[in-house]
Amino acid sequence: MDHERFKEEILIPLSKHEDVKLRKFNCSTMSIESAILIPYKPFNIIEGSYSMHSSLQKYYDFSVFLTVNKDEQIERLRK
């Protein structure tokens, strides 16, 4: 997980009430996909264990952590 890219491309724009240009990482091809524009909304859900990294916490007003079994986690990464 590239925490710096995540912060620069997602969290900082959201904190400034700006649209986000999301470039997803594709685990199957190990590459970053083309950007898609996500219009700013006042309420956002950010998912993934990477998003709970301590260096990113100051950007969140609220956080929830859920767990999933290892097999399900692997299956989700393959999608």
Neighbours of 50 (CB within 10 A): 13
Segment 9-19 mean pLDDT: 96
| Tokens read off for 26 | 């594709």
Phi, psi (degrees; rounded to nearest 5) at 2:
-90, 90
Task: Yes or no: say if 14 and 67 are a contact pair by the CB < 8 Å rule.
Answer: no
Q: What is the pTM of this model?
A: 0.73
Alpha helices in 1-79 (DSSP H): 3-6, 12-15, 70-78
Residues 58-73 have pLDDT tens digits of 999 998 888 889 999 8
Please report, for the chain, the start and end positions of each structural domain, with discontinuous segments joined by +.
3-78
pLDDT, the chain, mean? 90
Task: Yes or no: say if 10 and 46 are a contact pair by the CB < 8 Å rule.
Answer: yes
